[in-house]
Amino acid sequence: MDRPEHIRNPVEWGIDQIRLGALTLRSLGRSVRGSQASRDAPLPAVCRIRIADLRDVLVKGLGDFGAYRTDVIFICLIYPVIGIMLVWLTFDYQMLPLLFPLAAGFALVGPVAAVGLYEMSRRREQGNRITWVDAFGVVRSPGFGAILVLGLVLLTIFLLWLLAANEIYHVTLGPEPPASLATFARDVFTTRAGWTMIIVGMSVGFLFAVLVLAISVVSFPLLLDRDVGLDRAVWTSIRAVATNPVPMAVWGLIVAGGLAIGSIPAFLGLIIVMPVLGHATWHLYRKVVP
């Protein structure tokens, strides 16, 4: 005889939720720490690359995009949609000074957005048949918890950049918002305060970009590829940049330039630029961390 279905009382339900939360935190902590074998092993090796190697990774990125362009375009439609929403919010709330910082911020959170593309390149590398659904296979990775934590770190850096950009505007052209787009453009490009804002803003933005490049260019693909833990992945990424300062600097310029071009017009170019750069970053990881 079947047992009648048991209806939990509020106390039982609460205890179950606490247990579920504890299991989730334990799983997240394990993902952040990495496997015991990885903690006992030496740090992943880092190779030297040349600027010429960047051409090869871009060609491979284009190859991955060409093989699955319908799928990755479907995934990457979200980027221009988000960009257009940000522009609309900027104009709607008279926050024109944050228009450029918001657009530039795509470079800071881009590594998080590209994780699904890394997964597609990884599976193609293994000879598997790929569809857009496979981009979400990252959630089954042992390092998914560490990826989430690192993603939150990049989001925090992005918000700090917006706060810094807003403060720079207040000190130079502010604190009152511009009356119109034409007035804002005139103040930025034809006044000494406007050029001060541009120079200081680009200098501060450069520091944020270098920080993000150093901690993320290799760490996200590495966490997806191996169960190494967050600290080892970030340290490996920093070592990769320190070992290859010139190629990594050129790569950063390629990413920044690509995202800038992709943001015109209305962020629609990101439908093409984001997947190519995302796939290429996976192949860059393969060259740097064999």
Domain boundary assignment for the chain: 10-288
Give 220's Cβ-side CA count (13 Å radius).
Answer: 30
| Closest C-alpha to 75, from 10, 144, 121 | 121
Per-residue model confidence as pLDDT tens digits over 196-236: 999 999 999 999 999 999 999 999 999 988 888 888 999 99
Higher-pLDDT residue of 116 and 93 is: 116
pLDDT at 276: 86
pLDDT at 82: 62
Q: What is the DSSP string of 212-244?
A: HHHHHTTHHHHHHHS---HHHHHHHHHHHHHHS
Could you tell me the pTM of the whole model?
A: 0.79
Residue 134 binned pLDDT confidence (cut-offs 50, 70, 90) = low
Report the C-alpha gap between 5 and 7 in whole angstroms: 6
Decide if pLDDT at 62 tops 60.
yes
Residue 24 binned pLDDT confidence (cut-offs 50, 70, 90) = very low
Report the C-alpha gap between 267 and 137 in whole angstroms: 27
Higher-pLDDT residue of 56 and 33 is: 56
Give 81's Cβ-side CA count (13 Å radius).
Answer: 6
Higher-pLDDT residue of 14 and 290 is: 290
pLDDT at 98: 77
Q: Which of 135-144, 256-265, 269-278 has the lowest mean pLDDT?
A: 135-144
Average pLDDT score over the chain? 78
